[in-house]
Structure 1
Amino acid sequence: MNAPRQARGGRGRRPGSPRRSTRPRAPRPTVAERFDVVDRLLDGEVTDAGGVWSRATAWILRLALEQSVDELWARLAPELMRCPMRAQLLALRSYAGPETAAQVATVWAALSRAAHHHDYELAPSVTELRRWREQSAAIAAVLSKVESR
């Protein structure tokens, strides 16, 4: 007997599973708001994060970077927003230039590695997180100025 097929991308609702909530979603934080939260985490203002604050910071930075890329696609090529991030990074070369695309890919990969917990690896240091924060902010500024070619 065949198992029920899920919708493309594996995100379909399985038979018998509860329906998704129809509550309105909270507004998406801006890139600047995400950087503000990162700054608060790095300055020690947020104490509720406990031992996961460094990985949470890496996740928020990665979200800010991805959102900056999303905003570029929303302006220039909305159809690319549905592609996987790795495909978007390849397409970025044509829109933002090879140097910027390489910077985005490098920081995104570093944040992806840092955000995932592995028992045999140390969490990212404050120095690394601050560097990634500055790089992400610089990239976001560059991407916000990219215009159609």
Structure 2
Amino acid sequence: MTRSARALVASADQLIAPPPGATPPLTPGLRARAAAALLQQALDEAMDDFWRGVSPGMVHAAPRTKALCLDRYVSPSPARQWYAVRSALSAACHHHTYELPPTPAEVKAWHAAVTDLLQAMPSGTSPTGP
């Protein structure tokens, strides 16, 4: 069972800003990476939901292919933003011992970008442009 994109963003929000007085069991670096992973999942889930309504076969395509094809259905700006944010989140999720985890400011910026993208994701199925 997959969680909705909005539920994933809400879970990431809880990791980014735990309730006051709570002692989170994870270190800030692990919380940042976990939040980035949830945000990436939210973007992927929103994109898959879009493609299920347009062309169900696209659900199985690579994320880059989905983003490139999205240009036919929305203006290029959201498609480019989706790809840029997803690429940044993907890099943050691939842990390397020689790299620092993402900063809280980076994760909060990604959180805001993902929230904006979820609101901007189209619900129509007709292509734009030629």
TM-score, normalised to structure 1, is 0.76
How far is 1:130 from its partner?
0.6
Matched, 1:88 2:63: no
Unaligned stretches of 5+ in structure 1?
1-26
Distance 1:132 1:76, change over 3 A: same
Who is 1:111 aligned against? 89
Q: Match of 1:143, as an amino acid? A: M
Counterpart CA distance in 2 for 1:125 and 1:142 is: 26
Matched, 1:47 2:24: yes
Unaligned stretches of 5+ in structure 2?
none
User: 1:129-144 residue pairs with structure 2 within 5 A?
Assistant: 129-144=107-122
Matched, 1:98 2:98: no
Give CA-to-partner distance per residue, 1:51-76, whole Å, 9 cap, x none: 51111111100000111101110111
Q: Which has the higher contact order (CA 8 A, sep 6+)?
A: 2
User: 1:52-91 residue pairs with structure 2 within 5 A?
Assistant: 52-91=30-69
Give CA-to-partner distance per residue, 1:81-137, whole Å, 9 cap, x none: 111111111111111221111100100000001111112211001111011001001
**When the two structures are aligned, how many residues end up with a matched partner?**
123
Match for residue 102 of structure 2 among 100, 109, 124: 124
Asked whether the equivalents of residues 62 and 111 of structure 1 are also in contact (C-alpha less than 8 Å), the reply is yes
- Percent identical among aligned pairs is 28
